[in-house]
Chains A and B, each alone.
Chain A
Amino acid sequence: MSELIRNSIRFVLFLAFEIYVLNRVPHLHRFISPSLYFLFILWLPFSVSPRWLLSIAFVTGLTLDYFTQSPGLHAAACVLIAYVRPFLISVLTPRDSSDFNYREPSPQSLLWAPYFIYVLILTLLYHGWLVLLEWMSFGSFGDFLIKLIASTAISLLLIFTVELLFPRSMRFRTNVGG
């Protein structure tokens, strides 16, 4: 399967799940609004250039925004994590190995501990930006913190459930014979 088709399918599935499942299940609590779809951005291949990453993230966020009638909100958060992602990957992996040996970030390519940190930081950033933008219009700082931590925790739970449910087995790529 080509990268484009694989990621297009993921795009549709993640957004459909977000719109028709996560946005529709009754809220656990008013502070908790888990989301999962931004895992799509976390899973994009290493080979995507930062500019493309930003554009894709923008489109992803905006698509969700138009479904939830809040244009710009999720797009802003997605663009933020897409911008941070390349730095984080270069910090968490030795430049010469994973970047080229595997297709995309996964527990297998980054190893579990760095991958966890990668997901944790980006989830925290995503929710942080999202809640901050909401907080600017209403709420207090205490609400902001609780919301941030609770949403991040539930999202992490969802993400690692997905990781365990759908392990992406990836070939180790060598530069011998492609």
Chain B
Amino acid sequence: MRNVILFIRRYFTFFTFLFLQVASLWFLYSFNKFHQAQFLQSANELTGQVNSRYKKVENFFALGDENRRVHTLNDSLINLLPQQFAQVDTARQLVRDTVPTDTLNRYRRYYFRPAAVVYNSTSGEKNYIQIDRGSLHGITENMSVLNSDGAAVGVVVNVSPRFAQVMSLLHVRQKVNVALKKSGDFGTMEWDGADPGLLLVKGLPKSVAVKVGDSVVTSRYSFNFPPGYPVGTVAAIISDPGTNFFLLKVRPAARFYNLQYVFVVENLQYSEQAQLDEQSRRRIEDPKRNPR
């Protein structure tokens, strides 16, 4: 007996080695056999926590790609929304040589294209945004630009083959037709070049009940912007005693400081609308040249 104990004590290290080796092999083979390892459940909790922390860091570096993916997906879905279509009046339909309507007699009114912002400024009085889509991608002037959330950002003013320049809402010459979401009353949105956090809405009659916090959206009367997309929320109401209109200060819904991806929205009837508008103005305001 004493000899056995001596023997074990002498080779204790070796026995430890054997024991641990056998333990590892047992772990290994029981895992392979039954697809369940010893302590794997509880170990998974721990490794899972460490891994998820690491993943958080790693995700941070993949945010750009992820944003792009979500943005293009949104684009494909937004184009399917019913509000991008308008109903054709079937009572009196012109016969055309193409088929512009789908089977439900709807024709597309707005078309959304995704784009990435390559340059952006907010510090000046005339701020422009440059996007990486141009005439080669079908961008033309007067298309409106929304950010990823659908909030109004600006209007395309100049196009090169691969890039387009967008006049931001933060531009002193910008004028956008907007409406109160609650009542639909419309006004004109401008910017005075002072505070990039506040836009101005003029031309809203004092008879309209407006409160601080009301949403301002793009109006139905705008040629560029699809209706109902957020522009901002009312931050202050200034009642000018000299006129019959309110002056609203509006906090923009789009965050101009960190624009990454935007939608360029084409109103497919824009040229027709604009042409009609101009023709009628010319006819009315200059009746001599165009006698009625």
C-beta contact mask, B20-48 vs A, less than 8 Å → 1, else 0? 11011111110110000111100110110
C-beta contact mask, B138-166 vs A, less than 8 Å → 1, else 0? 00000000000000000000000000000
- Across the interface, do A80 and B28 meet the contact criterion of CB distance under 8 Å? no
C-beta contact mask, A143-168 vs B, less than 8 Å → 1, else 0? 00000000000000000000000000
- Across the interface, do A54 and B17 meet the contact criterion of CB distance under 8 Å? yes
- Across the interface, do B40 and A66 meet the contact criterion of CB distance under 8 Å? yes
User: Known: A66-B40, A66-B43, A137-B32. Contact between A72 and B17, CB under 8 A?
Assistant: no
Which residues of B lie under 8 Å from residue A57 when comparing CB positions?
A: 20
Contact of B13 among A20, A54, A69, A80 (CB under 8 A): A54
- Across the interface, do B25 and A72 meet the contact criterion of CB distance under 8 Å? yes
- Please tell me if A58 contacts chain B, counting CB pairs below 8 Å: yes
The number of chain B residues touching the other chain, given as a range, is: 20 to 34
- Across the interface, do A58 and B46 meet the contact criterion of CB distance under 8 Å? no
Contact of A66 among B17, B21, B44, B54 (CB under 8 A): B44
A20, A73, A79, A83, most chain B CB atoms within 10 A: A79
C-beta contact mask, A56-87 vs B, less than 8 Å → 1, else 0? 01100110011101111101100110110000
Which residues of A lie under 8 Å from residue B51 when comparing CB positions?
A: 67
Chain A contact residue count (CB 8 A cutoff): 25
Contact of B28 among A54, A66, A71, A82 (CB under 8 A): A71
Contact of B31 among A50, A61, A62, A72 (CB under 8 A): A72
Which residues of B lie under 8 Å from residue A133 when comparing CB positions?
A: 25, 28
- What distance in Å separates the Cβ of A34 from its nearest Cβ neighbour in chain B? 20
Closest B residue to A80 by CB, please name it. Answer: B21
Rounded to whole angstroms, the CA-CA distance of A75 and B27 in the bound complex is: 9
Closest A residue to B31 by CB, please name it. Answer: A71
- Please tell me if A51 contacts chain B, counting CB pairs below 8 Å: yes
- Please tell me if B12 contacts chain A, counting CB pairs below 8 Å: yes
- Across the interface, do A72 and B28 meet the contact criterion of CB distance under 8 Å? yes
- Beyond A51-B12, A66-B47, A79-B24, 17 extra complex contacts between A and B, CB < 8 Å: A50-B13, A54-B20, A62-B24, A65-B27, A66-B39, A70-B28, A71-B28, A71-B37, A71-B40, A71-B43, A72-B23, A72-B25, A72-B26, A72-B29, A75-B23, A79-B21, A83-B14
* 23 pairs of residues in contact across A and B, judged by CB atoms under 8 Å: A50-B13, A50-B16, A54-B20, A55-B20, A62-B27, A66-B44, A67-B51, A70-B28, A71-B28, A71-B38, A71-B39, A71-B40, A72-B25, A73-B24, A75-B23, A76-B21, A76-B24, A76-B25, A79-B20, A80-B17, A80-B21, A82-B17, A137-B32
What is A's interface to B at a CB cutoff of 8 Å?
20, 50-51, 54-55, 57-58, 61-62, 65-67, 69-73, 75-76, 79-80, 82-83, 133, 137
